[in-house]
Amino acid sequence: MSSSEESTSAHNVPMPSRQSPLYENCSVYSPRGALMFRCSRKKVEWYLHRKLAISLNEARTVIQLTFEPKGNGRVGEGEEYYLEDRENICVGCGGQVRLTAHHIVPFQYRKFMPLEIKSHASHDIVLLCNRCHDAYENKALGVKKQYAKKYDIPLEGRGYIPHPQHRRLHAAAKALLLKDHEIPAWRLEELESQIREFFGIDGSVDDEVLKQALELPLLSRSDDFEEHGQVVVRRMSESELEEFIRMWRRHFLEHVKPQFLSEMWRVEDPVRNRDAAYLWSR
């Protein structure tokens, strides 16, 4: 696929650096005074605004629920990681600049997983600097290609509709933008005619129109389009899906060798959220 084609999932793309901290380490306590989970300031304000909690400090970073929740929060075995304060540093090298939220289980798979798994996603979202992230993504791409072959589903998905006319217009626009003096005048006129006819232009064709031609998609998704991750997740049993997640965790540890990842983070930690009511945590 070319860079102008719709899907980019098969390729590594630059990850934007975060402009705000990922971890704000706000604390939520039960009415009985037990720490239930950590969350963002936004979630704290959500509780306070609805009178579902009271603030326990002036900074409004520690709150106590005013109602008896259905569950106990993140206090189960293997969930200790959720109660820790976390530093906003790269878990790989400890860097503090150009950080990005990295999905250990790639989002292209995670987004198609059952809710009880997706609600546990924060376990597998960590901070990496751009350097560590890019280095690891090259390794992760190899794993994705293995699953593409195993399940016969390309990384860019399946079910695209080609647009041959757009491809011809791309070629015409590129040739005209090159302003190659070796192209015969009759051929240049022929190429411009293709552009004029498509865009409904009577006069001359300027560079702005040619750039618009280059932006035309070469492919579009059909109604039957299937994403790579969608097919892979659908083909897996529950046990295979859990092993798939743990495989990515092991792969991350093996190749990043994170020096600043919490000791409470473990490959064998629960994959599914035993209490879906706690989708609000981190």
Would residue 236 count as lying in a domain? Answer: yes
Tokens of 182: 């070796």
Q: Is 2 a member of any domain?
A: no
What is d(CA 255, CA 82) in angstroms, rounded to the nearest whole number? 24
pLDDT tens for each residue of 189-248: 999 999 999 999 998 899 999 999 999 999 999 999 999 999 999 999 999 999 999 999
Q: Where are the alpha helices (DSSP H) in 151-184?
A: 164-178
Asked whether residue 19 is domain-assigned, the answer is no
Q: Which one is predicted more confidently, 4 or 246?
A: 246
Domain around 95: 89-157+227-282
Number of domains forming the structure of the chain: 3
Over residues 83-97, the mean pLDDT reads 95
- Note whether 141 and 279 are same-domain residues: yes
Same domain, 123 and 241: yes
Domain membership flag for residue 256: yes
Query: Do residue 114 and residue 147 come from a single domain?
Result: yes
- Full-prediction pTM beyond 0.85? no
What is the pLDDT, as a whole number, of residue 277?
A: 43
* Residue 126 exposure: Cα atoms within 13 Å on the Cβ side: 28
> CA–CA separation, 245 vs 150, rounded Å?
17
| Tokens matching residue 50 | 């609805």
Residues 207 and 182 in one domain: yes
Model confidence pLDDT, tens digit, residues 133-185? 999 999 999 999 999 999 999 999 999 999 999 999 999 999 999 987 789 99
pLDDT computed for residue 274 by the predictor? 59
- Structural domain contains residue 17: no
In a domain, 10, yes or no: no
**pLDDT band at 18; cut points 50, 70, 90:** low
Is there a single domain that holds both residue 178 and residue 281? Answer: no
What's the average model confidence in pLDDT over 28-45? 93
Do 108 and 232 lie in one domain? The reply is yes
Find, among 158, 171, 150, the residue nearest to 1 by Cα: 158
At which of 192, 216, 240 does a domain end?
A: 216
Number of neighbours of residue 65 by Cβ within 10 angstroms: 17
